[in-house]
Chain A
């Protein structure tokens, strides 16, 4: 064995430059990457923080204590509280069906689950206006029964549900595919019930990916703008979510107010990133 390996090893040793990037290239690439990320990511991140506090903490609290901001915050939290659990249950069910069984049309189903990713947010809002708007399919029926969906909370929730639909499923499907079902089959053959198997075998295995999917889903549910903007009607204090409230303030040149609301959302984004990174490090350590 040694006799065969030696010449190759020698050859490789003589050719280290073919395996490693020269120092000047390393440095230039790192510089390019750092500048690019600095410009497009660190600068925006820093600006949100600076702008929110530019008029001092008091202006910030005043902007946040405004009833319209609080109403927007409440609506945003309510929307996330409804959509995230629903899409999480769906994500787990879909991942279970797709990765634990073989059936006809499986790849079609996976493609369809991803569909909302490739639909423009504005179109995602438009389709609900077509269904439930005043001139929509159910428009006259809804008016007759005095039910408001568009320009009201249900419309906002429906549009957000559509937008955040694939997030949890997308995280779970590749992982559960890779894990295979041997462990679950073992538990089942030892007499565990289906639910028991899920709770004590599957769930512990997928919990980090599940949590990450939930985080992403939540970040998007709270931050969605385009789709919600179409169905909301921008009624202050009633149908403005936090991102819409940011837009309204910005367009009225209330820059401090806009950035105060924006910084809540940015804080949420940063929190999401921190949790995500912690999860990744935890996984890497195991």
Chain B
């Protein structure tokens, strides 16, 4: 506590916060770490270096990477259009962005599977015209992850675009910059850190996503089996050790990636003078 703080309730609120946080989050989560201490190093390596496990990591991380890149690209355009332009139905359009947040993942899963299955609305169209099957293939995973990634990107970029000072653009314009130069040198560098955050959030969510993916993925081992599904499979076979080892690995990789992206973001902000 600093200054001569007259605000009451510090002990009560901080006490409750810490106790509740420990009970609901920290203690349960720490069991994962303690549980994995029961494994020795060789067993751990044996579980993780299994070909099926490695394939699932490759599938999960590649699909999440591609999906969050695509969602970042289109999400940026959506945010731009929402902030800068006026068009018919914009308010409803704006409200719909959060739909993937609000829709339960299992519902999203069966809906996307229905749309993209070979006999489905878009699935049939894609097979007939391009010969591409989406559902029950790795591409299906990417589609599901794009769906859940959209609000993460749009909702992180939007406020930054909204607060962007017109005077900065005007300064650039008055010094003779073209529109492209204004965008490349003034707007984009300022929005980039937010875009990076949105990308990171989408990616982190995508790697761990389960409900919306399993219905559309086909779940073929080595091809379209994601890590969370493999954890569930191991649990159903009462292979607690296997499930723990895979889960811990995934958790550590996710945290490392988030940490790296935070670092990168810090660096970008520092370079562009926002810090």
Using a CB–CB cutoff of 8 Å, the interface residues on chain A facing chain B are 8, 11-12, 15, 17-22, 26, 29-30, 32-34, 36-37, 39-45, 47-48, 51, 89-90, 93-94, 96-98, 100-103, 109, 112-113, 115-123, 126-131, 133, 135, 137, 158, 161-162, 165, 181, 184-185, 188-189, 193-194, 197-198, 216, 219, 222-226, 229-230, 242-244, 246-247, 250, 258-259, 262, 265-266, 268-270, 272-274, 276-277
Q: Is the CB of A101 within 8 A of B14?
A: yes
Q: Is the CB of B12 within 8 A of A18?
A: no
A224–B91 alpha-carbon span in the complex (Å): 28
- A37 to chain B: which residues have CB within 8 Å? 78, 93, 96-97, 150
Q: Is the CB of A41 within 8 A of B235?
A: no
B85 at the interface (CB under 8 A from A): yes
B251 at the interface (CB under 8 A from A): yes
- A224 to chain B: which residues have CB within 8 Å? 104-105
Query: Given A90-B21, A117-B205, A121-B228, 15 more contacts at CB 8 Å?
Result: A19-B179, A33-B78, A41-B147, A47-B115, A47-B121, A118-B204, A121-B208, A126-B32, A131-B28, A194-B9, A223-B103, A223-B104, A225-B211, A266-B103, A269-B104
A219–B101 alpha-carbon span in the complex (Å): 9
A229–B211 alpha-carbon span in the complex (Å): 9
Q: Is the CB of A94 within 8 A of B13?
A: yes
- A17 to chain B: which residues have CB within 8 Å? 178-179
On whether A130 and B32 interact (CB within 8 A), knowing A15-B176, A222-B104, the answer reads yes
- A268 to chain B: which residues have CB within 8 Å? 102
Within the complex, the shortest CB–CB distance from A88 to chain B, in Å, comes to: 12
Chain B residue, CB-CB nearest to A47: B111
11 A-B contacts (beta carbon < 8 Å): A18-B169, A18-B172, A19-B169, A40-B100, A94-B17, A97-B13, A102-B1, A119-B251, A130-B240, A219-B104, A229-B210
Using a CB–CB cutoff of 8 Å, the interface residues on chain B facing chain A are 1-3, 5-10, 12-14, 16-18, 20-21, 24-26, 28-29, 31-32, 35, 74, 77-78, 80-82, 84-85, 87, 91, 93-112, 114-115, 121-122, 146-147, 150, 166, 169-170, 172-174, 176-179, 181-182, 204-205, 207-211, 215, 227-229, 231-232, 235, 238, 240, 243-244, 247, 250-251, 254-255, 258
- A39 to chain B: which residues have CB within 8 Å? 122
A109–B19 alpha-carbon span in the complex (Å): 12
A90–B18 alpha-carbon span in the complex (Å): 10
Q: Is the CB of A93 within 8 A of B208?
A: no
Chain A residue, CB-CB nearest to B89: A34
A94–B14 alpha-carbon span in the complex (Å): 7
Which 5 pairs from chain A and chain B are nearest by CB? A120-B208, A223-B104, A194-B8, A225-B211, A226-B210
Q: Is the CB of A36 within 8 A of B77?
A: yes
Q: Is the CB of A243 within 8 A of B104?
A: yes
A43–B120 alpha-carbon span in the complex (Å): 12
Within the complex, the shortest CB–CB distance from B124 to chain A, in Å, comes to: 14
